[in-house]
A = this chain, B = another copy of it.
């Protein structure tokens, strides 16, 4: 028997796959339960609503990405190398766990209504990840590798490029393997951040 938390994660993983491919509103609880082989009602023993499942999913996804980036940030290498590492890891995710990345772009960024409760606008759910990006950039600035620019600009550069590539990839725009672009992408980001 799985622990309660383990089962929650199993549900999240099934949900992620469906949410990321078909979108939140085109995925039914029924489909998720079928995919998992459990009953509809049972899912409600773990999540009080479809919306809360979407929120738990973004926490799960953010944590995966933040964990990777946190680890990279802990390494004793230059910030540019960190960026290259992160791009590498990111593109691997896109390839091997597209649901992780696509959930971020297809559900989280596009269905804000799902993540905003009352005053909090669901930004906090991604904070863990944003903080690591901020850490990386700031360190680069303080160490003289990067130019000091508005953080939102830096953030837009990093996530914008990665997001675009994710989208193009999901549309099968790329002929070659995504790995091929590791250099291109990290260079592009570094050029933007550098002095």
Selected contact of A110 from candidates B110, B156, B188, CB within 8 Å? B110
Beta-carbon contact of B160 and A109 below 8 Å: no
- A188 nearest CB across to chain B (Å): 5
Beta-carbon contact of A23 and B113 below 8 Å: yes
Stretch at the interface among A35-43, A59-67, A88-96, A146-154: A146-154
Selected contact of A157 from candidates B23, B152, B161, B170, CB within 8 Å? B161
Beta-carbon contact of A155 and B149 below 8 Å: no
Majority SS at the chain A contact face: helix
- A47 nearest CB across to chain B (Å): 17
Beta-carbon contact of A164 and B155 below 8 Å: yes
- A114 nearest CB across to chain B (Å): 9
Beta-carbon contact of A181 and B150 below 8 Å: yes
Beta-carbon contact of B149 and A113 below 8 Å: no
Beta-carbon contact of B110 and A184 below 8 Å: no
The residue in A22, A105, A156, A172 that gathers the most chain B C-beta atoms within 10 A of its C-beta is A156
* A167 at interface by CB-CB < 8 Å: yes
* A159 at interface by CB-CB < 8 Å: yes
- For A174, the closest partner residue in chain B by CB is B152
A141→B100 CA distance, assembly (Å): 35
Provide the residues of chain B in CB contact with A168, threshold 8 Å: 152, 155-156
Residues of A163-195 whose CB lies within 8 A of B: 163-165, 167-168, 170-174, 181, 184-185, 188, 191-192, 194
Provide the residues of chain B in CB contact with A174, threshold 8 Å: 152
Q: List 13 A-B contacts (CB under 8 A).
A: A105-B109, A110-B110, A112-B171, A121-B171, A149-B184, A152-B168, A153-B181, A153-B188, A155-B168, A160-B160, A160-B162, A160-B163, A188-B192
